[in-house]
Chains A and B, each alone.
Chain A
Amino acid sequence: MIRLNSVQRWSLFVALVLWAIFVIFPLYWMVTTTFKLRADIYAGPALIPWVDFAPTLEHWARVVARYQQVTRAMANSAVAGLASAAAATFIGGMAGYGLTRFQYKLGFLRNRDIAFWILSNRVLPPIVLVLPIFIMFRTAGLVDSRAGLAIVYTMFNLPIAAWLMLEYFKQIPIDLDESAKVDGASYMQILTRIALPLARPGIIATFLVCLMFAWNEFIYALILTFSRAQTLPLVVAGQATQHGPQWWDIAVMATITIAPLLLVTILLGNRLIAGLTAGWGQ
């Protein structure tokens, strides 16, 4: 292990603190803006509540009361996010489980090729797919609906979900299946009694990762929704360009958009990190 003398140790510490400040400051600036009166926002760099400015809940109260749009967008984001994360985790989990437990042959594709084909869908630029999806959805009456969004997000998250679940199921030794089979367990019993309980941390991590991607997603929502089914990122982006920006209100909406993930990261940081880096670097 490399040992640092105390000068090196503390200069490293200072450098890391500087980066932490760069990371925190814009967020702090935005969040404090939501609590400043307009006069304070224009007056100058007011940094510390109760010292530089008197905090107010005015903007929060107005956004919650006036913009029915925001509460509806929250519901849309939550429904599309939860439904698609559940579906992607479930369907991806099935594929991941199958690919670790059975031998497949689709034409010339074997298991590893199938897994890579599934994953490779993740790199396709949404702008390529979204125009035809828009046309298809118009025909099917799914434009500007939560169901349509949930379907698209399921597709969008499926590659990463299948890939993560594959990594987790791979870590469960196949010997466990074999010995259960010898003891007369059915496939269903092996799945529900052995594989699923052991994969539980992986299932939770996959679900969270999918939920995050769906919650933050922008381009599909931009093109496939216009009023009823608009999600939070869209409401934030729309405010900034339509009528002359109401900075304080947008700051509130942006804060609402990022708050859940900020909270999840602080509470479940390590689990989420484990999910994102599964099977990495070994």
Chain B
Amino acid sequence: MQKTALTRRTLLLPAVVILLGLSIFPLLFSLALSFGDWGLGRGVPYEWRGLSNYAALLADGRYRNAAFNTVLYVVITVSVQYILGLALAWGLFLRPPGGRIFRVFFIFPMMLAPVAVGYMWRLMFQSRIGAANFFLAALGFEPVRWLSARWFAMSVVMMAEIWQWTPFMFLFLYAALMNVPTSPIDAALVDGASGFQVFRHIVLPMLMPISIAVIMLRAVEAVKILDTVYVITHGGPGNTTESLTMYGYNVGLQYFNLGYAAAIAYTLLLVVVAIAVPVIIFIKKEVSYT
């Protein structure tokens, strides 16, 4: 009996120790940092500042801009990814010719390093040698300096994100479609429903719980956006396309203002928690019923 208890604890111990040491402890450390000031490398000891970092955020235009950009990145990319992913999943569900080959093409972008994907899209929209401007020229248009204009630059970032993560939506929606019971679909078809009616009134409602889950999972990841912004625009022109993670990185590791960086990071964490907690409760409920 005693040996069982020992085995039991040993199994869980390493995972718990690692997560406590490298996840929970830094989490609390960051919280403490966000309430103070610590000039790492300048030899300034930690000094408690209360809520002053958070108060400073409210008046910081660069922070507001980064927060606004992050919201735009998340809302636009995740909704486009969902719509396209759903369309692709439904398209393959209808068994087009060559379905199996399509599947590999529809999935692989999500496996690739976001940095390389970002670079790939930067190359597409580079003003002198990018494919986009070559095609514009072929159609008789003037070349566009995509990455020198804020909204064009953000569109390129969003394009890269949509390219990379639509596959994620497709993958999980398609897996869910494959598990949808076929009898209601067949019954509706016998009653003379069209393909679109079946999709709209039978399949879409059945996919609702999974849709919410994938949208939230994507949103939680997208809020942390850094890689593609870093490579494609590096926050520029100026700081106009910066995301929250990128701003936090700049403040913390370029200017070494750890307290302020931690405060930025913590506001991001609050957003993540606000999105994730309902999903986790939701998934938990689903799991307990099965």
Please provide the chain B residues from 8 to 54 with a CB less than 8 Å away from any CB of chain A in the complex.
8, 10-12, 14-16, 18-19, 22-27, 29-30, 33, 40
> Within 8 Å CB of A155, what residues of B?
18-19, 22-23
Decide if B12 touches A99 in the complex (CB within 8 Å).
yes
Encode B178-189 as 1/0 by CB contact (under 8 A) with A.
Answer: 110010011001
B23 touches A12 (CB 8 A): no
- Cβ–Cβ contact B107 & A265, under 8 A: yes
Are A126 and B224 in contact, CB atoms less than 8 angstroms apart? yes
Determine if B108 and A266 form an interchain contact, defined as CB atoms under 8 angstroms apart: yes
**Top-8 shortest CB links A-B:** A98-B11, A132-B29, A132-B26, A45-B134, A281-B176, A95-B15, A233-B115, A155-B22
Which of chain B's residues have a CB closer than 8 A to the CB of A125?
223-224, 245, 265, 268-269, 272
Given the known inter-chain contacts A102-B8, A155-B23, please indicate yes or no for A222 contacting B249, CB distance below 8 A. Answer: yes
Interface size on A (CB < 8 Å)? Answer: 97
Once A152-B22, A266-B104 are accepted as A-B contacts, the answer to whether A4 and B195 lie under 8 Å apart by CB is: yes
Task: Determine whether the beta carbon of A12 is less than 8 Å from that of B163.
Answer: no
- B97 adjacent to A13 (CB under 8 Å): yes
In the complex, how many residues of chain B place their beta carbon closer than 8 angstroms to a beta carbon of chain A?
A: 104
Give the interface SS of chain B, mostly helix, strand, loop or mixed.
Answer: helix
> B33 is contacted by which of A131, A154, A257 (Cβ under 8 Å)?
A131
- B26 near A23 with CB under 8 A, answer no
Give chain B interface residues in 160-198, CB to chain A under 8 Å. Answer: 163, 171-172, 175-176, 178-179, 182, 185-186, 189, 195, 198
With the chains together, A244 CA to B266 CA distance in Å? 35
A19-B84, A215-B113, A233-B115 known; 16 new pairs, CB 8 Å cut-off, are A1-B182, A2-B198, A12-B91, A19-B106, A26-B124, A26-B131, A44-B137, A125-B268, A126-B245, A129-B27, A132-B33, A218-B113, A232-B113, A280-B172, A281-B175, A282-B179
Verify if A116 is at the interface (C-beta below 8 Å from B). yes
Tell me the minimal C-beta distance from B257 to chain A in angstroms: 10
User: CB < 8 Å: which of A13, A45, A233 contacts B98?
Assistant: A13
The distance from the CB of B85 to the nearest CB of chain A, in whole angstroms, is 11
In-complex Cβ contact of A240 among B10, B22, B178, B231 (8 A): B231
A280 close to B288 (CB less than 8 A): no
Number of residue pairs spanning A and B whose beta carbons lie under 8 angstroms apart: 280
B186 to chain A: closest residue by CB: A1
**In the bound complex, what is the Cα–Cα distance between A240 and B235 (angstroms)?**
13
A241 touches B234 (CB 8 A): yes
Task: Decide: A236 and B119 in contact? CB cutoff 8 A.
Answer: yes
Question: Does B121 count as interface, using CB distance less than 8 angstroms?
Answer: yes
Q: Is B215 an interface residue (CB 8 A)?
A: no
In the assembled complex, the Cα of A1 lies from the Cα of B181 at a distance in Å of: 11
Are A26 and B121 touching (Cβ within 8 A)?
yes
